[in-house]
Every structure is written in structure tokens, then in C-alpha cells.
A and B are shown apart, each in its own frame.
Chain A
Amino acid sequence: MNTIYMDHNATTPMRPEVLAAMHPYLGEKFGNPNSIHRYGRETRIAIENARDHAAALIGAAESDEIFFTSGGTESDNWALRGVISAASGKSRIVTTAIEHEAVLATCQALEAEGAEVTYVKPDRKGRVSAEDVAAAIRPDTRIVSVMWGNNEVGTVQPIHEIGAICREHGILFHTDAVQALGKVEVDVERAGVSLLSATGHKINAAKGAGFLYVKKGTKLDPFMTGGGQEQKLRSGTENVAGIVALGEACRIAKEEGPQSARNVAALRDRLENEICEHVPDVLINGDTDHRLPGTSNLGFIGAEGETLLIRLDLEGIAVSTGAACSSGSPEPSHVLLAMDLPQETVQGSLRFSLGYGNSDADIDRLLEVLPEAVSKVREMAPRLKSTKT
């Protein structure tokens, strides 16, 4: 079966150039970058090149502000825990209700350890206002953490405004840029960001490697202690192949990012327009004025997302849903709930996320299958109670 992948916010395929770049480091170039001999020198150079590419992509002033980690989850954990543990006295965190679980669950864990956390609510399009963030700041607020772009609805947050507010208050600003990196322009200096999380597998590199950007002068405790790698802040022998892949993906994103973002946005807009044209009662979840280029979250009223997902899957089309317990949790998507969407919108929501490799032919195929799938699922629904005599 010809399969079509429209779930790039979950993970992305590796680009062939990236795979080619990492390949030697799974084979003959196996040295430990901390070894003194030639094997070690060879892999050390590869890691430092990757660091340069990552720094260049996000506009970091220095390459040694990039710390390689195992991915987005670790970077989020480290940023929050590392800052709170390095701070003395009572600590408060300001974040949002629509963060990824990597931030939310970490904040909840820190709350259990005595930190106070404010979860700023977004508007109905999933955007928080910089004013609301500013209003939540107290004298003992140590860090503000607001994601750059949301993974479920794609809403891009007012990062520059929030960065300016944090700078004014002298507060650290962390942003989870896992979804935004490579898709929108990310410049940490201009945005006033002190810590930034990123991961390779969302930008066509490998799973299990990411980085945390830490602005010079930021007080941060180590997360992993041990052999003292990564300037003694993140111990553990480096995931050389994963880091090389990440570096190569950053290099490509720096070069091609703006153009591929435009292409992907055009595809996404076509997908959205044509679905809305061919399927009745569809709502767009998210902020169409501030949105990641590849993301379209749609609510199919009167249908249920997971059954739609599986019908599409059986036709070879991979998408995702924010519906209840499809991700193993009994509650519907916390993002859609925080946006105060009606339950029927939440229940009928599907996320299409486009990226590298998608084409107009994919949209054509989707449009062949989706309208019928939606009407089939809608036809199955119970009659309204009032029609029963």
C-alpha cells in the first residue's frame, strides 16, 4: 500500500543527507569523543561542528551555549529543574496551560517539592497574551517557560514580547522550541530567550538527541552528574551519531528553512481550504494568524477523531488526534480543553501535520478518502435523544 505520512509533529522521517552524515558514526567512526587518541579527536570534531550548526540556527552568540541532551523532554526537565535548584529561597514558575507534558509534568513535580507554579490560560485560539504572562510575574518568580509553537494546534506564542518582559524584570525565560525550530525564525538573542529546548527527531534528524541552549551567565545546576561532559553540566558519553544528525539537520534548516516553511504552509492551506470546502461542519482549531506552517488541527463536528484516524490509517494515511485516551490518558487533549473548545469539537478533532516529503499528490489522496470517512462516521452516530418517541 502507498502510505502517506501527515504526522510530522509526532516525529519526522530522517532526510537522506542527514542519514548519510550520521552513518559513519554508527560504523567506523566509533571513537569516544573524550578519548585523547585519533579516534576521539575525530568524533570530538564532529560534535563541535554540530554544535556550531545548532548555534547558528538559533542565533546563539557562542557555540558553547549549546548543550547536547537526549532530546526535548530532557532539555525541558533540565531547564526547569536546573534553574530552580540553582536558585535560593522560595521559587515561582510562570508557564502556560498548553505546554507539552515534558514541561507540565515537570512543573507539577516541582510544585510537589514546594515551588509555586502559575499556568497562564490561552485564548480560544491557543495563544497566551504577553500581558497575562506579565501579570503573573511576582518578585520571587525565577523563570518563565512558554513554548514557541504548540505541538497540537500549532499556535505560535508571542515569544519576543514575553522575552522583552522577562528581560525588563530580570527573569530567566525558557522556551520549548521543539516544534518551532526549523519552521519559524528562531533567534534567541533577538527574542530575549535565556534557555531553549530542541530535539532532533522533529527536524528530520534522529531520535534520542537534542539540545538545551543556555545563555552565558545563566545559573543552572547540572542534571546528569558523572564524567563531566558538556562543560560539567551534562555528563554521559555523547550520542555522537545522533548529535551529528542533529547538526546536519540544523545546517539544512538554516539554509532551506524559510523556503520549505513557505512550501509546507501552502500545502497546509490547500489541505485546509479543500477539506472545509468538501466536508461540512469543520472548524479550524488554532490561530490562523500565528501558526506553525505545517500544522492543521480540525474539528469534525459530530464525528469522533480516533475512528476517523483509524479509517484513514487503513487507507494508508497517518494523522493524529487529541481525543480522549487515544494517547493512553483518560482525558481529552489538555490543549484543546484549555482553549475552552466545546466537547464535540474536541471529540472530533484531527491533527494533520505536514513536512518534508509531503506533496500535492498527498493532499489529493487525502481528499479522495476523508470526506467519505467523515460522513460514514457521522452516519453511525446515535439519534438525538429528542427524536426517540
Chain B
Amino acid sequence: MAPRDDYHYNETVLRHIADPRNIGVIEDADAEGSGTNPACGDEVTLYLKFEGEAVTDAKIRILGCGAITAAMSSLTDMVRGKTAEELGEITAEEIAESVGGLPTHKRHCATLARRVLQNALKSRSAS
């Protein structure tokens, strides 16, 4: 069911925007992925550190709107302890749900977050 207010951000999203988690760079990252949203100019980079098969650290850099900030911030928590294979299965819907849902006109930000994650995974298998 669509939320009653499909226009504003919920409290979880607002908390992420006020204090995004894991902002920064991992200098010796095992995987790095970027993505942009050309319509608005949003730019995101995700850094992942693996130990064995599992992610032990994730950091992000963001120049973007509230929704992409919240989605990426939440994603850095979601990826911890997961294997590359498990990461590959994370959907945009799951990312949006992890912040309690995004307004319909902001759902593409969850899609961008997923694409950035996929790009990071590709960079790891390439290296």
C-alpha cells in the first residue's frame, strides 16, 4: 500500500540525511563503484573492503539529494558481513525498504544506489 504521505521523507530518511553513516574513502579498497544521475547531477562513490569473502568495511562519498544520501548511508550498513554473491542479490526495493521507503518520485535513487553497488562488484571481479 502506498504511504499516506508519498511526498515527504520519513523520519528514518531524515536521520540519515542529518547524519549520514560511513562518509569517507577507503584508500586500499577492494572494490569501488561510482554512479551519477544525469538529470540532477547526483554523484556517488562506494568503497568496499573485503576480508575473505565478506565485506568488513564500506564507505561513501556523495554529492546528491536527500534520498540518495539516505539510500547510500543505509546501504553501507546493509553490505557489512555479506559476500559478493549476497551483495549481487540486493534489490533497489530492499534498499528503499531499509530506510522505511522513499517517495515514489525518489525511487530512482534506490535504483542508483543499487547500480553503484553493482559497479563496485564489477570492479572487484575485474581486478
Contacts and interface: CB of A to CB of B under 8 A. Distances in A.
A380 B62 CA distance: 5
Interface stretch (B15-23, B48-56, B76-84, B93-101): B15-23
B106 interface: yes
Most interface-central of A325, A328, A329 (chain B CB within 10 A) = A325
A381 B63 contact: yes
A16 interface: no
A379 B24 CA distance: 9
A283 to B, nearest CB: 15
Contact of B105 (A306, A307, A328, A380): A328
A310 B9 contact: yes
A331 B20 CA distance: 25
Given A347-B40, A382-B45, A383-B25, A307 B64 contact: yes
Given A310-B9, A347-B40, A382 B34 contact: yes
A330 B64 contact: no
Contacts of B40: 323-325, 330, 332, 347
B18 A383 contact: no
A323 B65 contact: yes
A306 B41 contact: no
Contacts of A328: 7, 103, 105
Given A307-B65, A379-B23, A383-B25, A325 B45 contact: no
B63 A302 contact: yes
B63 A382 contact: yes
B1 interface: no
B41 A346 contact: yes
B20 A306 contact: no
A302 B65 CA distance: 12
A324 B65 contact: yes
B89 to A, nearest CB: 26
A344 interface: yes
Interface in A307-325: 307, 310-311, 314, 323-325
A380 B39 CA distance: 20
Interface residues of B, number: 29
Nearest to B25: A383
B25 A380 contact: no
A343 interface: yes
A75 to B, nearest CB: 25
A359 interface: no
Contact of A380 (B14, B61, B66): B61
Interface of A: 302-304, 306-307, 310-311, 314, 323-326, 328-332, 343-344, 346-347, 379-383, 385, 388
- Identify the 7 closest CB pairs spanning chains A and B, nearest first: A324-B40, A382-B61, A381-B63, A306-B65, A382-B45, A347-B41, A328-B105
Given A310-B18, A324-B40, 20 more contacts: A307-B17, A307-B65, A324-B41, A324-B65, A325-B106, A326-B65, A326-B66, A328-B105, A329-B105, A330-B108, A331-B39, A332-B40, A332-B41, A346-B41, A347-B40, A380-B23, A382-B34, A382-B45, A382-B61, A383-B45
21 contacts: A310-B9, A314-B18, A323-B40, A324-B37, A324-B39, A325-B39, A325-B105, A325-B106, A326-B65, A329-B105, A330-B108, A332-B40, A332-B41, A379-B23, A380-B20, A380-B23, A380-B61, A380-B69, A382-B34, A385-B34, A388-B32
